């Protein structure tokens, strides 16, 4: 592994952006590791959440935004709840996803594809149409076997609607997305 | 109190039984729910993971809708919706954020005060109706039923936004279930995450986390897990066949919505509670409860018989003595 | 004789591994023992009361307590028996805790050993005789050695308490390290602004006599009556005449003299007043660089001095002072970092010590308070601080933590940002030790408000690269090797004992640890006392200490001295040697051997005999083993008493 030059890897603008958007002061983190200690998803992370925090302090944009961890974070807030410095770590993770999405960096495609399918459904119908989301996800990822084993368990329960529940204000919702996209590209 | 009701999208699909039992239980308790007209999706995790203003706008549309029909509070059964609606309202206390959200909406909220409060149906029931009132209406106590109450990770957290119950060890559902006559087992993973919406994309995560929860319930001797969240319910119930059971020992663990057990205790017919829509057969839990009750009764009977026999013996001995003297 | 024996459980400390009641039982059979019992805590109020009661009830005339070390409680029990009317020397103590229960686990062996130690004490006690202390006058003057902040505080408190103080300072000015500091943590107030007034008070206090540029040469005597020789080193300037005008410094042509006050950042003139607030503010000539001394010609200062104060022919002078107590406050020195070759070992001009950096920050320093790096005078933009240099490092025999360097590093990093707003500081640390009031908050502020980049890990080497220095270290929290190109590197060098501290300790007859720090009498309960009566400690000479603690100790030591002097007379210890004139043959061997000069000749009916000067004898016992006649005996430790103990152990 290369030696990390702390001066040249440091991206102060990035640090500022994360602090600004999350409203959290990264310098408050004293690296006790409690967020990692309680993170239910740590076993699946490539960089533990406390090390994400440390990397943020060092301004290591690429390292953080290219990590898989930020996509696997479950937003469970146990880190936030237990941080001795009252840092809303989950919110920091959220903001990292925002920035990464803006820059088109996604290390866990499957996750964002599912989310995109979800939001597409909301945009179209105003409410999410579960079967449609899964179908869309399967179509986009080609993972045709996704949860096929659950089909016999759920099908007889008569819960999955064959049709979306469109709302009257569908257009209003579509406009929210539209304006959001305009704001973003502005 | 004018209570608006926000069912959440899954209530129309995978959590129909939650939706049905919530309405049935509220009716039984005389809680009037006014549906938010033409409510829309809050955006859930996919929205807040993409951008906070978008997430805020999707939520705010519903809050504005509730205000329009004269409601001061919105109740929702789904913690994910709850979290989004509450967080949106919380963040909109900031003028800048509220303005940003407003730019995305057809009908923005002018002031923070225009937005109703948000609470979970659980909170509505325990704080507005009250445990005493509920206890008084119990017709069919859940005698013998040992339950593990699982709140999920976001109903109480982060504490400064959710402002309900203890963020690490909530007890409202415990108290409610106890009031219904159930026996609550000590359950250490009340707020530990089940894997949330990663079932589709990263089944391994859900398998591990939900497996741990189910294993803990099994080891605590619970007959069933009781939840307040559609996503948790789906992970624990529908995906129960996918989980990694700690120690490899799988059991059939029914997973109820708390509203289903509430309805049952209040005497609402099973058909209105959607019990048949659960994947793991709920009868298993009731059977175990009945067995427990029977076992306890048998034990008590045996004890009583023993005591009676002893008394009889003593009596006999006494009369024999008397006889001897006579 | 009627002896009583008390065997102590010391809770479970002794009782845990010694059959205490069993030992008491066995002791009952020892000669002259008429009473024996076990007790839970002999030193406690009820424990002592039981001893007093037993003495009265059983008409005891001697007492043995078998318990802990006499270091702590011998005085306690002596007072106890005294309360019951016995002479305090009719008491013996057997240490069955440190010498038995704490060092062995075998209950039977322990119990046997304890019983034997009790027996030895009984046998000795049978030969004890009452001894009576003599009282003597006290010289109510105190010597304070070292004029750092601790010594200054001690001197002022004693002087305010109404006693005369002799303050001896090695350098030509008092103030110690604190005088060299720019600002002080955690309040970041100006060091000379808070120390300066105290220094002025020292110079103006009618009760303080200050000898600067002086050292203690010899110390004789004992508590209450010390005799101290102070060597006033030649300054080559008559300080009675010098007004501190500084004219000589302006004109002195020899301008390359080492600048010790500025920690050798830059140079100064051969005749010099170290800094504007110096106390005393007097000039001094450095004969190693002065042209008059080196080349034999110059004399400029003598010509310009308006008061004619220059004395090239001045010699050292020794003055003798009589004092009743001594406070030593000789402070610390800094670890010589050149032992770390990986940090350049002194070869890199821009790798400097923390104290040098204080001088760069200080407005009265060589750069007038502008931070410029020594090599090229450029303002550094990236400053790297390295903590624990020469501390917590077994490889350089400095296993201890220097205590204050974490804090001063945070302070210096904060000040760096103040001086150079567009700079960035990195601090490489292993741990951050900030356990004083407002200290943790201060280090957090350095990180949170001043943006100081703390990196957890050590630096393995520093390599010059262009006009920068590549600092190669590790960030253990990232788990990565890291490097920082720095303009200036500041080493948080650790504290070590002041040079010459062990030699001074020998003169004072006090102990010091492996590293030369003076030993307190008890690390918790007697922190400013030493094991030599009348000698006290203050400040970093006892171990690394920050200013608040040093000042606290200065006041504490002063309180001890004032307490000592509050008694009109002191009692001498009767455990001293005595000459049996009938056996003394006048060989004089004891006179030559006594390290304290406590034995003198006397004439007795025409014959020369030895005689012990009671107030001078320290009871060391060397004379008793020297005397071929066995004529000189140490009271309370006579040959017979010691032999009785040996016999008890070996013959019974
Ligand atoms: C870079 C640096 C920054 C620091 N910053 C701070 C700070 O911000 N806040 C803080 O609380 N602490 C700070 N400290 C610690 C502070 O220097 C010490 O706490 C303080 O100086 C201890 O005072 P002292 O009187 O015990 O010792 P010293 O200051 O060392 O004084 C001892 C005096 O005794 C004299 N002396 C020594 N031997 C003899 C002898 N044989 N005969 C006669 N005189 C003798 C010396 O010449 C000296 O004048 C800092 C230390 C360093 C190295
Ligand atoms: S719990 Fe808080 S302080 Fe501790 S490492 Fe995580 S973010 Fe930092
Ligand atoms: S919110 Fe994300 S980072 Fe924090 S504990 Fe939960 S899963 Fe881990
Ligand atoms: S020696 Fe003379 S010239 Fe120098 S400071 Fe003293 S009085 Fe002034
Ligand atoms: S004699 Fe000359 S060199 Fe020496 S101190 Fe005086 S002026 Fe300086
Ligand atoms: S005070 Fe800090 S820098 Fe100094 S030795 Fe101790 S841990 Fe190291
Ligand atoms: S015991 Fe003897 S040698 Fe020791 S100080 Fe006294 S007289 Fe001198």
| DSSP string computed for C548-577 | HHHHHHHHHHHHHHHHHHTSSEEEPPS--E
Which residues of chain A have a CB within 8 Å of the CB of C448?
A: 25, 27-28
Mean pLDDT of C7-26: 97
Q: What is the pLDDT of residues B136-175, one digit of tens each?
A: 999 999 999 999 999 999 999 999 999 999 999 999 999 9
Q: Shortest CB distance from C483 goes to which of A3, A25, A50?
A: A3
Q: What is the pLDDT of residues C123-180, one digit of tens each?
A: 999 999 999 998 899 999 999 999 999 999 999 999 999 999 999 999 999 999 999 9
Question: Closest-lying ligand to the alpha carbon of C456?
Answer: 6
Q: What is the pLDDT of residues C498-540, one digit of tens each?
A: 999 999 999 999 999 999 999 999 999 999 999 888 999 999 9
> ∠ CA C212-C214-C216 to the nearest 5 degrees?
130
Which residues of chain A have a CB within 8 Å of the CB of B41?
A: 122, 126-128, 173
Q: Shortest CB distance from A169 goes to which of B38, B47, B196?
A: B38
C-alpha dihedral (B55, B44, A113, B150), degrees to nearest 10: 150
Give yes or no for residue C6 having a pLDDT over 50.
yes
Which residues of chain A have a CB within 8 Å of the CB of C451?
A: 27
Q: Token pair for residue A76?
A: 């469970």
Question: Closest-lying ligand to the alpha carbon of C509?
Answer: 7
Contact C592, C585 (CB under 8 A): no
Which residues of chain B have a CB within 8 Å of the CB of A90?
A: 158
SS3 C629: coil
Architecture of domain A6-102: Orthogonal Bundle (1.10)
Give yes or no for residue A139 having a pLDDT over 50.
yes
- For residue A29, give how far its alpha carbon lies from the nearest alpha carbon of chain C (Å): 9
- For residue A162, give how far its alpha carbon lies from the nearest alpha carbon of chain C (Å): 50
Contact B53, B21 (CB under 8 A): no
- For residue A54, give how far its alpha carbon lies from the nearest alpha carbon of chain B (Å): 21
Q: What is the pLDDT of residues C586-595, one digit of tens each?
A: 999 999 999 8
- For residue A10, give how far its alpha carbon lies from the nearest alpha carbon of chain B (Å): 25
What's CA A57's distance to the chain center, in Å? 20
Q: What is the pLDDT of residues C269-321, one digit of tens each?
A: 999 999 999 999 999 999 999 999 999 999 999 999 999 999 999 999 999 99
Q: Quick count: other Cβ atoms within 10 Å of Cβ A166?
A: 12
Q: Do B and C touch (≥3 CB pairs < 8 Å)?
A: no
Laid out side by side, the sheet with C488-493 consists of: C351-353, C488-493, C382-389, C424-429, C453-456
Architecture of domain C577-635: 2-Layer Sandwich (3.30)
CA distance C414 to C421: 10
Provide the residue ranges of all domains of chain A, joining segments of one domain with +.
6-102, 109-185
Whose C-alpha lies nearest to ligand 3, atom 5? A39
CATH number of C334-496: 3.50.50.60
C302 lines ligand 4 (CB under 6 A): no
Q: Token pair for residue B95?
A: 């003028």
Mean pLDDT of B118-136: 97
pTM: 0.84
CA distance C45 to C176: 46
pLDDT > 90 in chain A, percent: 88
Mean pLDDT value across chain C: 96
List the domains of chain B with CATH numbers: 3-123 (1.20.1050.140), 132-289 (3.40.50.11810)
Contact C93, C7 (CB under 8 A): no
> Which of the following CATH numbers is that of domain C3-125: 3.40.50, 1.10.530, 3.40.1350, 1.20.950?
3.40.50
Q: Quick count: other Cβ atoms within 10 Å of Cβ B313?
A: 10
- Cα(C622) to centroid(ligand 7), Å: 6
Contact C597, C616 (CB under 8 A): yes
Put simply, the answer to whether C477 touches A31 (Cβ < 8 Å) is yes
CATH number of C141-233+316-331+506-566: 3.50.50.60
Q: Token pair for residue C172?
A: 């030509």
Nearest residue of C to residue A27 by CA position?
C448
Contact C414, C421 (CB under 8 A): no
Put simply, the answer to whether C448 touches A27 (Cβ < 8 Å) is yes
CA distance B147 to B143: 11
Q: What is the helix (H) or strand (E) element at residue A14, kind and residue range?
A: helix A12-22
- For residue B136, give how far its alpha carbon lies from the nearest alpha carbon of chain A (Å): 33
Q: What is the pLDDT of residues C333-371, one digit of tens each?
A: 999 999 999 999 999 999 999 999 999 999 999 999 999
Whose C-alpha lies nearest to ligand 2, atom 4? A32
Q: What is the helix (H) or strand (E) element at residue C484, kind and residue range?
A: strand C480-486
User: Looking at residue A161, what is its pLDDT?
Assistant: 86
Nearest atom in ligand 4 to C247's CA = 3
Put simply, the answer to whether C477 touches A51 (Cβ < 8 Å) is yes
Answer whether A37 touches B (CB < 8 Å).
Answer: no
Put simply, the answer to whether B204 touches A44 (Cβ < 8 Å) is yes
Put simply, the answer to whether A54 touches C478 (Cβ < 8 Å) is yes
pLDDT > 70 in chain C, percent: 100
CA distance C144 to C250: 34
Provide the residue ranges of all domains of chain C, joining segments of one domain with +.
3-125, 141-233+316-331+506-566, 247-304, 334-496, 577-635
Put simply, the answer to whether C481 touches A4 (Cβ < 8 Å) is yes
Find the distance separating the first CA and the last CA of chain A, reported in whole Å: 40
**Quick one: pLDDT band at residue B320, thresholds 50, 70, 90?**
confident
CA distance B187 to B207: 19
Q: Do A and C touch (≥3 CB pairs < 8 Å)?
A: yes
Q: Do B and A touch (≥3 CB pairs < 8 Å)?
A: yes
Nearest atom in ligand 4 to C241's CA = 7
Q: Quick count: other Cβ atoms within 10 Å of Cβ B42?
A: 32
From C248, C251, C284, C285, mutation site for ligand 4 pocket: most ligand atoms within 8 A of C-beta: C248
CA distance B61 to C248: 85
Put simply, the answer to whether C475 touches A54 (Cβ < 8 Å) is yes
Sequence-ordered alpha helix ranges (H) in chain A: 12-22, 34-38, 49-57, 61-65, 69-72, 78-82, 89-102, 109-125, 130-141, 151-154, 170-185
Instruction: Based on DSSP, count helices (H) and strands (E) in chain C, helices before strands.
Output: 17, 34
From C302, C305, C308, C310, mutation site for ligand 4 pocket: most ligand atoms within 8 A of C-beta: C305
CA distance C460 to C474: 8
- Interface predicted TM-score (ipTM) of this complex, two decimals: 0.94
User: Looking at residue C571, what is its pLDDT?
Assistant: 87
CA distance C345 to C336: 9
Q: Which residues contact C481 (CB under 8 A, 6 or more apart)?
A: A1, A3, A4, C472, C473, C474
Contact C553, C542 (CB under 8 A): yes
Answer whether C479 touches A (CB < 8 Å).
Answer: yes
Q: Shortest CB distance from B195 goes to which of A74, A90, A150?
A: A74
A93 lines ligand 3 (CB under 6 A): yes
Mean pLDDT of C456-460: 94
Contact B270, B256 (CB under 8 A): no
Put simply, the answer to whether C484 touches A6 (Cβ < 8 Å) is yes
Which backbone phi and psi does C591 adopt, to 5 degrees? -65, -40
Q: Shortest CB distance from B54 goes to which of A134, A157, A180?
A: A180
- Quick check: do C141-233+316-331+506-566 and C334-496 share a fold? yes
CA distance C463 to C471: 7
CA distance C455 to C480: 11
Put simply, the answer to whether B57 touches A180 (Cβ < 8 Å) is yes
Which residues of chain A have a CB within 8 Å of the CB of C477?
A: 31, 50-51, 54
Q: Which residues contact B159 (CB under 8 A, 6 or more apart)?
A: A81, B167
CA distance C391 to C394: 8
Give yes or no for residue B326 having a pLDDT over 50.
no
Put simply, the answer to whether A172 touches B193 (Cβ < 8 Å) is no
CA distance C415 to C419: 6
Q: Please classify residue C51 by burial: count the beta carbons closer than 10 Å to its beta carbon, then call 0-12 exposed, 13-18 middle and 19+ buried.
A: buried
Give yes or no for residue B325 having a pLDDT over 70.
no
């Amino acid at each position: 592994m290369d030696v990390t030059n702390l001066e040249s890897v440091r991206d102060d603008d990035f640090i500022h952006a994360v602090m600004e958007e999350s409203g959290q002061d990264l310098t408050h983190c004293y690296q006790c590791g409690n967020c990692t200690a309680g993170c239910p998803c740590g076993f699946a992370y490539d960089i533990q959440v406390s090390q994400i925090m440390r990397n943020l302090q060092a301004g290591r944009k690429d390292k953080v935004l290219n990590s898989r961890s930020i996509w696997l974070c479950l937003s469970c807030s146990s880190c936030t709840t237990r941080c001795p410095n009252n840092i809303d770590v989950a919110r920091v993770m959220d903001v990292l996803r925002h920035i990464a999405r803006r820059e088109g960096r996604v290390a866990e495609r499957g996750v964002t594809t599912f989310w995109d399918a979800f939001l597409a459904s909301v945009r179209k119908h105003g409410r999410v149409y579960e079967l449609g989301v899964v179908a869309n996800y399967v179509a986009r990822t080609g993972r045709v076997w996704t949860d096929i084993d659950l089909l016999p368990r759920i099908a007889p329960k008569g819960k999955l609607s064959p049709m979306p529940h469109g709302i009257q204000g569908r257009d209003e919702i579509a406009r929210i997305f539209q304006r959001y996209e305009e704001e973003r590209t502005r | 109190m004018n209570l608006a009701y926000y069912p959440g999208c899954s209530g129309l699909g995978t959590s129909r039984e939650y939706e049905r039992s919530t309405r049935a239980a509220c009716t039984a308790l005389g809680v009037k729910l006014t549906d938010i007209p033409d409510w829309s999706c809050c955006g859930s995790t996919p929205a807040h993971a993409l951008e906070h203003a978008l997430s805020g706008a999707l939520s705010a549309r519903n809050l504005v809708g509730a205000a329009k029909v004269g409601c001061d509070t919105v109740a929702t059964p789904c913690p994910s919706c709850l979290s989004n609606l509450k967080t949106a309202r919380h963040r909109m206390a900031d003028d800048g954020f509220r303005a940003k959200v407003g730019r995305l909406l057809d009908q923005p909220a002018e002031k923070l005060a225009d937005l109703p409060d948000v609470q979970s149906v659980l909170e509505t029931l325990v704080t507005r109706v009250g445990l005493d009132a509920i206890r008084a209406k119990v017709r069919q106590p859940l005698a013998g039923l040992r339950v593990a109450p699982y709140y999920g990770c976001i109903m109480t957290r982060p504490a400064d936004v959710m402002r309900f119950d203890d963020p690490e060890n909530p007890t409202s559902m415990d108290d409610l279930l106890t009031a219904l006559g159930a026996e609550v087992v000590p359950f250490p993973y009340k707020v530990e995450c089940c894997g949330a919406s990663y079932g589709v994309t990263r089944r391994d995560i859900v398998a591990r986390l939900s497996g741990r929860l189910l294993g803990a319930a099994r080891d605590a001797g619970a007959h069933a897990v009781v939840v307040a969240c559609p996503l948790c319910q789906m992970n624990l119930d529908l995906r129960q066949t996918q989980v990694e059971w700690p120690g490899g020992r799988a059991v059939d663990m029914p997973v109820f919505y708390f509203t289903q057990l509430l309805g049952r205790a209040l005497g609402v017919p099973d058909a209105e509670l959607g019990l048949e829509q659960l994947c793991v057969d709920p009868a298993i839990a009731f059977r175990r409860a009945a067995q427990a009750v029977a076992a306890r009764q048998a034990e008590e009977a045996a004890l009583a018989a023993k005591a009676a026999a002893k008394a009889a013996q003593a009596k006999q001995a006494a009369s024999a003595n008397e006889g001897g003297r006579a | 004789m009627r002896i009583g024996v008390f065997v102590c459980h010391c809770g479970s400390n002794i009782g845990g591994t010694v059959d205490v009641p069993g030992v008491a039982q066995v002791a009952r059979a020892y000669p002259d023992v008429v009473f024996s019992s076990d007790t839970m805590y002999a030193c406690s109020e009820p424990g002592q009361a039981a001893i007093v009661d037993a003495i009265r009830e059983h008409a005891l005339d001697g007492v043995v307590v078998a318990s802990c070390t006499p270091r702590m409680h011998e005085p306690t029990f002596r007072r106890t028996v005294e309360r019951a009317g016995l002479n305090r020397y009719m008491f013996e103590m057997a240490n069955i805790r440190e010498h038995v229960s704490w060092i062995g686990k075998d209950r039977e062996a322990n119990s046997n050993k304890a019983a034997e130690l009790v027996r030895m004490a009984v046998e000795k006690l049978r030969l004890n005789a009452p001894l009576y202390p003599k009282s003597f006058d006290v010289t109510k003057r105190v010597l304070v050695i070292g004029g750092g902040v601790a010594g200054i505080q001690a001197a002022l408190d004693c002087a305010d308490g109404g006693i005369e103080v002799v303050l001896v300072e090695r350098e030509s000015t008092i103030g110690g390290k604190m005088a060299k500091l720019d600002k002080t943590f955690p309040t970041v107030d100006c060091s000379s602004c808070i120390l300066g007034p105290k220094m002025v008070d020292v110079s103006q206090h009618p009760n303080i006599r200050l000898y600067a540029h002086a050292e203690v040469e010899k110390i004789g005597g004992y508590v209450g009556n010390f005799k101290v020789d102070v060597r006033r080193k030649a300054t080559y300037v008559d300080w009675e005449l010098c007004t501190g005008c500084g004219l000589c410094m302006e004109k002195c042509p020899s301008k390359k003299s080492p600048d010790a006050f500025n920690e050798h950042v830059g140079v100064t003139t051969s005749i010099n007043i170290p800094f504007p607030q110096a106390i005393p503010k007097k000039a001094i000539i450095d004969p190693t660089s002065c042209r008059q001394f080196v080349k034999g010609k110059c004399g400029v200062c003598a010509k310009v001095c308006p008061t004619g104060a220059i004395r090239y022919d001045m010699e050292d002078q020794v003055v003798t002072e009589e004092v009743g107590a001594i406070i030593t406050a000789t402070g610390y020195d800094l670890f010589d970092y050149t032992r770390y070759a990986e940090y350049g070992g002194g070869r890199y001009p821009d790798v400097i010590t923390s104290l040098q950096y204080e001088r760069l920050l200080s407005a009265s320093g060589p750069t007038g308070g502008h931070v410029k790096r020594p090599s090229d005078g450029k303002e550094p933009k990236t400053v790297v601080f390295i903590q624990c240099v020469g501390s917590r490092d077994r490889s350089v025999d400095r296993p201890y933590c220097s205590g204050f360097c974490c804090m001063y590093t945070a302070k210096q990093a904060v000040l760096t940002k103040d001086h150079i707003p567009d700079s960035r500081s990195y601090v490489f640390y292993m741990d951050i030790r900030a356990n004083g009031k407002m200290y943790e908050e201060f280090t957090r502020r350095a990180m949170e408000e001043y943006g100081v980049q703390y990196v957890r890990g050590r630096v393995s080497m520093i390599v010059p690269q262009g006009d920068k220095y590549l600092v190669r270290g590790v960030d253990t929290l990232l788990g990565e090797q890291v490097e920082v190109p720095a303009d200036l590197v500041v080493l948080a060098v650790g504290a070590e004992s002041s040079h010459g501290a062990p030699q001074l300790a020998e003169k004072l007859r006090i102990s010091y640890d492996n590293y030369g720090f003076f030993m307190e009498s008890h690390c918790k309960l007697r922190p400013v006392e030493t094991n030599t009566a009348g000698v006290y400690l203050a400040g970093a000479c006892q171990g690394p200490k920050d200013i608040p603690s040093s000042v606290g100790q200065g006041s504490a030591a002063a309180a001890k001295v004032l307490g000592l002097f509050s008694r009109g007379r002191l009692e001498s210890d009767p455990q001293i040697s005595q000459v049996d004139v009938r056996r003394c043959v006048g060989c004089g061997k004891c006179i030559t051997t006594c390290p304290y000069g406590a034995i003198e000749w006397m004439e007795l009916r025409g014959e020369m005999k030895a005689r012990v000067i009671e107030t001078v004898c320290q009871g060391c016992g060397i004379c008793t083993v020297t005397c071929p006649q066995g004529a000189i005996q140490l009271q309370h430790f006579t040959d017979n008493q010691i032999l009785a103990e040996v016999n008890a152990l070996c013959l019974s």
